[in-house]
A and B are shown apart, each in its own frame.
Chain A
């Protein structure tokens, strides 16, 4: 079975540009999570969805960040406009109820 698929794997862009990260969860999973990982702040939960509905977005750092899950097989995390301090590795994970989360390989984002 395919795991959680994230794209792109790496993204380098200039400050002020819009960035869109994509995630395809494991088929049949009903929860999806977006995380950000940096050396300074560790692993942070940004937002999560149950059955495509956002449950908790309190981890989203600013209004520049937004996430959508239009259907059970796709989610996006958008940053507009991007800033250098947004540089990090962004992970998507999915799970089924209280089963363990499965993580994608992450997107390494660099904002110049």
Chain B
């Protein structure tokens, strides 16, 4: 079974600054996907970024980028030029690739990020 751990229950950052959210996972699988989801106070769950484990290049989406360290089983999210709208709960998630069942995500506990003006 897979586990995902987010060791930072809460983080805060000043507007325009950079912040990094940590995530580690444990798996015996070699092929998998990793995701970061964002849940703002409106409670919608929004996909932020996706990383395929077979790709060495770190994924980037505008101000959001990841540091994927496969050997260390680490998957951190960096938010650059933080904006007030980035205030949200952030979830790290793992998805096994292949097999007879598909699509199941294993979520971490979440990190509440507050961006201060």
Contact = CB atoms under 8 A, between A and B. Distances in A.
Partners in one complex: yes
Interface of A: 31, 33, 42-43, 45, 48, 50, 55-56, 89, 91, 93, 95-103, 105-106
B105 interface: yes
Interface residues of B, number: 20
B44 interface: yes
B55 interface: no
A13 to B, nearest CB: 20
B45 A45 contact: no
* Secondary structure dominating the interface of B: loop
B103 A98 contact: yes
B101 A98 contact: no
A89 B50 contact: no
* Secondary structure dominating the interface of A: strand
B60 interface: no
Q: Which 6 A-B pairs have the closest CB atoms?
A: A31-B103, A103-B45, A95-B103, A55-B101, A100-B47, A97-B102
B109 interface: yes
10 contacts: A33-B105, A43-B91, A50-B101, A55-B104, A56-B101, A91-B45, A98-B33, A98-B102, A101-B47, A106-B43
